Chains A and B, each alone.
Chain A
Amino acid sequence: MHQSLPSLLFPEYRRRVLGLLLLRPDEALHGREIARRTGLPAGTITRELTKLAEVGLLKRTKRGNQQVYSADTSGPIYTELASILRKTSGLADVLVQALAPAATKLRLAFVFGSVARGEETAGSDVDVMLIGELGFREAVELLYPCQAILGREVNPKVFATPEFTEKAAAEPFLRDVLAKPKIFLIGNAHDLEELVGS
């Protein structure tokens, strides 16, 4: 298995921190909050934040007696770097935001296929599984704008919840999807297990 593009470009911690802050340029966060939202240890993250602030990718400001970090949007490569993150590790963010208007209709949403496995190539599409009370047309219309942002085609698979539950166990395509890595957008692995009753 080859290394995924984002993990080749950036070490894991850096990718998560930059993915969080550069894709939310309006947010200024404290180190502990960044650690919580990236799932990284608070101790290690301070060093990472300091380094990123020193090279001008992040801005460090004081809020009360706290140091907060945010994207330095005036930096010379901010726009390009944010674009790279959006197309790689920020992919899930882009999709979650696109699906937000239909979130109440969706029981589960996840990316599967080569992108979820970290085996994507330049021409790979993004396969998105949507389970709930959503029409195919609505899914296409919600996800269509993502294609230009991500620079990839997005293929939605839309299943009603009972249909998915009924077919998941026996149908080879769904069994394959269930067995392989996923990036969850709405719901989690536990919700999926509940749905398929395993």
Chain B
Amino acid sequence: MPMTLKNLLGLSLDAVAPDKAHIGKLLAAAERNLADARLQGLSTENRFDASYKAIMQLAMVALNANGYRTMTSKPGHHQTAIQTLPTSVGLAQNKVIVLDALRKQRNLSDYSGDLVSDAAAAECLASASDLLAHVRAWLAAHRPELL
């Protein structure tokens, strides 16, 4: 059975009504985070974190626009948010693989104190910027009433 968002209902997703105001707030927050991610005065770690937050906010936009949100009561909601991107907004699988590696990097730096390299921070910013453009274009094409 192919993964649909519907068959994750109650397992890792809840149903919600798509909400233009909610999406507007998330997009604005993602843009603020992307601006912060470019601040050279910040540590590599904090620039990485700002980009990663933007990725999460954009994945939440993607789910909300389809009428879903992650169940934060369940472990792995970041993983769910990233791995549903091909279904929610048609993101290519090779991009999801990189986003998922960034998620693991974030876990390792948050919980084990692993050092974030410049290369990881640069990719996190590039991936987040790409996802912002992708999600905006998808909304414009498929759910223009939410923009």
Q: Show the binding face of A for B, using Cβ within 8 Å.
A: 125, 134-137, 139-141, 144, 153, 155-160, 163, 167, 171-174
Residues of B within 8 A of A139 (CB): 119
B120 within 8 A of partner (CB): yes
Residues of A within 8 A of B114 (CB): 157, 173
CB-contact partner of A155 in B98, B105, B113, B117, under 8 A: B105
CB-contact partner of A140 in B101, B108, B118, B126, under 8 A: B101
- Please determine whether B98 and A160 come into contact, CB atoms closer than 8 angstroms: no
User: For chain B residues 114-142, which have a beta carbon within 8 Å of chain A?
Assistant: 114-115, 117-120, 122-124, 126-127
19 new A-B contacts, CB < 8 A, other than A135-B123, A153-B104, A157-B115, are A135-B119, A136-B101, A136-B102, A136-B119, A136-B120, A137-B98, A137-B123, A139-B119, A140-B97, A144-B97, A144-B101, A155-B101, A156-B101, A157-B114, A157-B120, A158-B120, A160-B119, A163-B118, A171-B115
Residues of B within 8 A of A172 (CB): 113
Residues of B within 8 A of A136 (CB): 98, 101-102, 117, 119-120, 122-124
A155→B114 CA distance, assembly (Å): 11
> Known contacts A140-B97, A141-B97; is A159 also within 8 Å of B119 by CB?
yes
Number of A-B contacts (CB under 8 A): 55
Tell me, rounded to whole Å, the shortest Cβ–Cβ distance linking B120 to chain A. Answer: 5
* Cβ-closest chain A residue relative to B118: A163
* Cβ-closest chain B residue relative to A163: B118
> Known contacts A172-B113, A173-B113, A173-B114; is A158 also within 8 Å of B97 by CB?
no
B73 within 8 A of partner (CB): no
Residues of B within 8 A of A163 (CB): 117-118
- Please determine whether A174 and B115 come into contact, CB atoms closer than 8 angstroms: yes
CB-contact partner of A158 in B108, B117, B127, under 8 A: B117
- Please determine whether B97 and A155 come into contact, CB atoms closer than 8 angstroms: no
Contact with A along B13-30 (1 / 0, CB 8 A): 000000000000000000
B4 within 8 A of partner (CB): no
A135→B121 CA distance, assembly (Å): 10
Residues of A within 8 A of B124 (CB): 136
Residues of A within 8 A of B108 (CB): 155
Contact with A along B93-107 (1 / 0, CB 8 A): 010011001101100
* Cβ-closest chain B residue relative to A176: B113
A187→B77 CA distance, assembly (Å): 39
Residues of B within 8 A of A157 (CB): 114-115, 117, 120
